[in-house]
Amino acid sequence: MKFGIVVIGTGLLLGIAGSGGAAVNCKQVNKYLATGRSVKDVAETMVIDEKDVKKCQDEAASDPKAGDAKGGGGDMKGGQEGAK
């Protein structure tokens, strides 16, 4: 009986521990890269693998909308001209 509980407990523990790492926030990675940081620096700062940083960089290069780290964008209409 005890052996069965130990086996089940060990299986659950290994299943939880081996369920993969946390997802990488590519939006944040690309923001760091846009500031001029190196791939290695971003990986160390975010405590992720350099391969994950490069993956985010490649995804942003293939899909500019998804990797847009600038946000906002567009022209400001109106502005100060009409305030006189």
Domain boundaries, the chain: 23-67
H/E stretch holding 58:
helix 50-62
Determine the pLDDT at residue 43: 96
Q: How far apart are CA 70 and CA 54, in angstroms?
A: 19
- Assessment of whether the complete model's pTM goes beyond 0.75: no
**Tell me, what's the pLDDT at 7?**
55
Higher-pLDDT residue of 26 and 7 is 26
Residues 56-84 have a mean pLDDT of 65
pLDDT value, residue 29: 96
pLDDT in tens, 11-68: 555 454 444 567 999 999 999 999 999 999 999 999 999 999 999 999 999 986 654 5
Query: CA of 33: how far to CAs of 41, 45, 52, 75, in Å?
Result: 9, 11, 13, 24
